[in-house]
């Protein structure tokens, strides 16, 4: 609690702390309480036109003082704010015989946010959480509340200290070579990433709630919840070194790596990109996948219908 009491020519100075700029993100106005003659009065302090903070996140004391003075004048209070002493100084005119108690009381102070301001504030708080860094909450003009997940990336490495045998290369198109049997040391790295947006159609949800014949509230939320732009990517890079083995070419038998296996190697680079799709009310494919789409696909054993893009490239 921070309370300033004024009587006569009393003055007090308020200096904002180092977290002021962060605390004021998304704030449109502040609601304070002023006690005069034993009665509490609410005073709204609007955000200055030039903002709460200046360049470098320094408090905009001049703009804030002007906002306080405008609010005091509108309420008819003999309180004055000015910039002095490195902060915001409050005083009452000389000769004032009325006691004013004005301050920040946690139980009475309200931080008023616009919708955009609230989203800004939520996004700042979300990105303070390590696992949610890069996420974003958005509201579209169509009334969809969207949550952009941060890209989820995981990597794994595979390495063999000794040769692995029985490598199958039948699909590589080695021409006349047949019955290829190889052994090699393998080193590979697999990286997988997932991007997606989760959302809820607030307009559809609201209309459903207003419908007298509406379905169960749980089903209504389920029907208006969806995933969008789901993208799964896997990247595999690897090498096979010290390749040895045998192969047949007609009547000839070929020894591979008999003299110096360190000269033989195979390189592999493969990318897999999978995109998920759903269906709209008209049966058209869309990158938005409703919970109903997912439920129907599993119930009808048609999970592959959710795969809209399946690209495998490399070699």
Helix (H) or strand (E) holding 218: helix 217-223
Q: What is the pLDDT of residues 2-32, one digit of tens each?
A: 445 544 456 777 788 888 888 787 777 777 7
Report pLDDT digits (tens) over 197-227. Answer: 999 998 888 888 888 776 688 888 888 899 9
Which phi and psi (to 5°) does residue 181 adopt? Answer: -130, 110
- Cα distances from 94 to residues 7, 8, 16, 97, 226, in angstroms, run 9, 6, 26, 9, 64
Do the beta carbons of residue 91 and residue 77 sit within 8 Å?
no
Name the CA dihedral angle for 16, 18, 23, 26, rounded to a multiple of 10 degrees: 90
- Look-up: residue for tokens 């014949």? 213
Average pLDDT by stretches of 10, the chain with 315 residues: 49 81 79 78 85 88 93 87 86 72 55 66 78 86 88 83 56 56 78 91 86 79 89 87 74 70 76 88 86 89 85 74
- Alpha-carbon distance of 121 to 126, in angstroms, equals 9
- Per-residue model confidence (pLDDT) at position 1: 38
Burial 37-74 (b: 16+ CB within 10 A, else e): eeeeeebbbebbeeebbeeeeebbbebbbbbbeebbee
Domain boundaries, the chain: 2-113, 151-314
- Residue that has been written with the tokens 């198109």 in this structure: 173
Task: Give residue 93's pLDDT.
Answer: 74
Q: What contacts 202, CB < 8 A, 6 or more positions away?
A: 143, 144, 145, 224
What is residue 109's predicted lDDT score, i.e. its pLDDT? 46
Judge whether 229 and 195 are in contact, CB under 8 Å.
yes
Token pair for residue 19? 């977290």
Q: Alpha-carbon distance 194 to 102, whole Å?
A: 52
The architecture that CATH gives domain 2-113 is Sandwich (2.60)
């Amino acid at each position: 609690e921070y309370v300033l009491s004024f009587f006569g020519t009393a003055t007090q100075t308020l200096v904002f702390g180092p977290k002021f700029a962060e605390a004021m993100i998304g704030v449109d106005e502040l609601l304070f309480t002023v006690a005069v003659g034993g009665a509490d009065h609410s005073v709204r302090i609007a955000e200055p036109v030039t903002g709460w903070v200046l360049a470098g996140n320094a408090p905009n004391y001049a703009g804030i003082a002007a906002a306080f003075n405008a609010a005091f004048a509108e309420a008819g209070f003999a309180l004055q704010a000015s910039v002095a002493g490195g902060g915001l100084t409050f005083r009452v005119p000389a000769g004032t015989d009325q006691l004013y108690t004005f301050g920040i009381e946690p139980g009475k102070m309200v931080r008023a946010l616009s919708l955009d301001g609230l989203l800004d504030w939520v996004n700042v708080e979300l990105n303070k959480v390590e696992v949610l860094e890069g996420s974003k909450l958005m509201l579209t003009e169509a009334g969809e509340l969207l949550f952009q997940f941060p890209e989820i990336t995981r990597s794994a490495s595979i390495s063999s200290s000794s040769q692995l045998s029985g490598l199958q290369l039948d699909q590589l198109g080695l021409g006349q070579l047949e019955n290829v049997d190889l052994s090699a040391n393998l080193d590979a790295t697999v990286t997988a990433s997932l991007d997606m947006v989760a959302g809820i159609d607030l307009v559809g949800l609201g209309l459903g709630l207003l419908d007298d014949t509406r379905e169960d509230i749980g089903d209504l939320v389920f029907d208006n919840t969806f995933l969008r732009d789901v993208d799964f990517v896997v990247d595999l890079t690897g090498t096979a070194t010290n390749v040895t083995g045998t192969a047949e070419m007609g009547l000839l038998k070929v020894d591979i790596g008999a003299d110096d296996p360190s000269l033989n190697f195979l390189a592999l680079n493969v990318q897999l990109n999978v995109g998920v799709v759903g269906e709209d009310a008209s049966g058209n494919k869309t990158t938005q996948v409703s919970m109903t789409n997912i439920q129907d696909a599993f119930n009808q054993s048609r999970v592959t219908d959710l795969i809209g893009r399946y690209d495998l490239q490399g070699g």
